[in-house]
Amino acid sequence: MSEKTIFQKIIDREIPAPLVYEDDLVAAFNDINPQAPVHVLIVPKKVISRVGEAMAGDQATLGALLLAAGKIAEKLGVSDRGKGFRLVINHGRDAGETVPHMHVHLLAGRSLNWPPG
């Protein structure tokens, strides 16, 4: 079996990190190197290496990630259109992926540039 990802260790409580959200399919915690005042990582409990490698059977998990993002944004007070948030999924080297366990970045709390870098 391949070694657990850092995110799997957080989900399994082997590495301490307060969870900002959890349900049957996903867990969320603050990014250790935040790029905005709000920077939460939303991670499927089932390891999907990266979004482009998800399978048809992962549909519910993929949906759960986005539904969780909406709930977390609401909970953190950034879902109002006067504020707002951005979701980012990095797949592969050119996108800057560093952890091979799919995750959604939720960024908020400042004005975010477009196009992204």
Which residues of the chain form contacts with ligand AMP (CB under 6 A)? 6, 17, 31-33, 41, 90, 96-99
> Residue 75 and residue 68: Cα distance in Å, rounded?
10
Task: Check: CB of residue 105 under 8 Å from CB of residue 63.
Answer: no
Q: What's the one-letter identity of residue 68?
A: A
25 or 99, CB closer to ligand AMP? Answer: 99
Which residue of the set 39, 91, 101, 103 is catalytic?
103
Which residues have C-beta within 8 Å of that of residue 17, sequence separation ≥ 6? 10, 29, 30
Q: How far is the CB of 1 from ligand AMP (least distance, A)?
A: 21
8 or 79, CB closer to ligand AMP? Answer: 8
What string of DSSP letters covers 47-78?
--S-GGG--GGGHHHHHHHHHHHHHHHHHTT-
42 or 73, CB closer to ligand AMP? Answer: 42
Q: How far is the CB of 16 from ligand AMP (least distance, A)?
A: 10
Whether 103 sits among the annotated catalytic residues: the reply is yes
**Cβ count within 10 A of residue 5:** 17
Q: How far is the CB of 95 from ligand AMP (least distance, A)?
A: 7
Catalytic residues: 103
